[in-house]
Amino acid sequence: MFAVPGIIALIIFILVRPQEFILLLQRVPFLHLFTGLAVLGWVIDVRLRRLQPIAVPTLPLVVAFMVWAIVCTAITVPELLLGKAVLFAIIFVLYAVIAHGVQKFRSFQIVAGALVSACLFITVVCFHQGLADKQCVAGQEGTDGSIKGKPDGRGCDMAEQCLGPDAEPGKEYRCEHVGTFGTYSVEERVRYRGELHDPNEVAMTITAGALSLLIAFLLRKRNALAIALCAAGVILVVLTILMTKSRGGLVSALLVPGVYLIRRFGLWAVMPAGAAGVALIVLGGRGGMNADVSTELRYEAWATGLTMFKRHPLFGVGPEQFVEHHFLTAHNSFVLTLAELGFIGMFLFSSILYLSMKILVVGLRDLQTTPGSAAVQVWGMALLASLSGILFQINTLSFAYHSVLWLFLGLVGAWYSAIRHHVPEFRVRFGWKDVVGVAAGCVVYAFVLLPIFLRYKGKM
């Protein structure tokens, strides 16, 4: 499979981002190189008849979403058209090569193993960061929350200790845990680099990319060593999620075993576990004044996003332009697409998510009693658990264009393609009833539920 090496390299460079802390790697545009390598590998595999050029059900919707985003850019911010076109091209290639370049469960397991390895690397870095000593960090945070500060090596217990004769004039200081590869915490919440500079995004990513997939490897492996390693990985991921102090991340982590319990025992069986989960969130999540202020600011961002939609209902304000109209991002992927891409953009985005979930549910249901479908069930349940956690947490994260989301949408497509390889007659369609249902849900959300909720919170 010539496509698989390029896919694995893309996953590692997008998530781990070694090019940010290994200076030698910055001399070559590896991200674009591996994107081209993955596409070339897919073409070679198709030419050699190792892959079938069969589109997954979500492909037309993804193409329509990407084209619509570019159209909105051309109309609202034409000066940014080239840059946004490159952004969406990379996202599309990441989704497409995974969805269409992995058509056997052996290849699927290799790609899943690479994803787990990348997420475990991030987990180890963040876990070490949470245990590391605190240092004074000089510099201000970037407007996008990216790492801009620099630890100066002085130990501290609180930010006030960083002031004094050794402080650089004009610098803002924080007292944070300082980890490896230039990482440090924010408000003592562990985080990573690049797209994962936010603790909530770290929690969601390692939940979806490590916790749920490690459970799948636990179910697939039979030797004691593999089981012990997977179990240790699960424990490490859970401890790191607690270190992020992400309330949404804790809920997503609880949803992973919850999905398994619901399928096995039904909804009522998880009620006791749900009560224990609430206690865990209260004890492990972020609390206090900072958490309350963060929640209020998030509601204000939602209200601002709804106002943007009312003023620009068709094309929105343009992709990644929310922060040009408000000092914070939307902190909600559905509000984000509604404000930046208008109603059509939100409908297409919601349709992709809906159809991805439908593929998993239908596949798990229809192939449940099919002989030899053990791999289908194990990996389908893992993806269902991952996507359930993602769908919950993107209600508080601006994740519409995030590579992690599109990586998992690609994995759902790969799972479908692998099923089609063994069961060619398997089909999942996006029919007119689905179109009407998603459209109706978007209308109710944009015109009824969201306005009522914001009025209840006093933001409208």
- pLDDT of 222 strictly over 50: yes
What is the model's pLDDT at position 283? 53
Looking at every residue in the chain, the average pLDDT score rounds to 88
Q: Give SS3 for 184.
A: strand
- This prediction has a pTM of 0.92
The SS3 of residue 171 is coil
- Find the mean pLDDT for residues 307-334: 92
77-112 pLDDT tens trace? 999 999 999 889 989 999 999 999 999 999 999 999
Kindly tell me if the per-residue pLDDT of 388 is higher than 60.
yes
- pLDDT (mean) for 208-222: 89
Task: Please give the helix or strand (H or E) that residue 269 lies within, else none.
Answer: none
Starting from the edge strand earliest in sequence, which strands make up the sheet with 134-138, in order? 150-155, 134-138, 173-177
pLDDT confidence of residue 226: 85
| Cα–Cα distance for residue pair 413/408, rounded to 1 Å | 9
Pairing of strands 173-177, 134-138: antiparallel
Distance CA 389, CA 358 (A): 15
Choose the weakest-confidence range: 61-65, 179-183, 248-252, 263-267. Answer: 263-267
Residue 267's pLDDT band (cuts 50, 70, 90): low
pLDDT at 145: 47
Average pLDDT on 64-80 reads 95
The fraction of the chain above a pLDDT of 70, given in percent, is 92
Mean pLDDT of 430-440: 96
- Please report where in the chains the tokens 């393609």 appear, as a residue: 417
- On whether the CB atoms of residues 343 and 314 are closer than 8 A, the answer is yes
What's the average model confidence in pLDDT over 302-313? Answer: 94
Mean pLDDT of 247-263: 85
Asked whether 191 and 198 are in contact (CB, 8 A), the reply is: yes
Residue 169 has what pLDDT?
A: 79
> How far apart are alpha carbons 258 and 264 in whole angstroms?
10
pLDDT (tens digit per residue) in 154-199 = 889 888 888 878 788 777 888 999 999 989 998 889 999 888 989 9
**How many distinct helices (H) and strands (E) make up the chain?**
16, 3
Q: Does residue 274 register a pLDDT over 80?
A: no
- The structure tokens 């009620």 sit at 271
pLDDT on residue 141: 58
**∠ CA 286-292-298, rounded to 5°:** 100
Closest CA to 221 of 374, 87, 117: 374
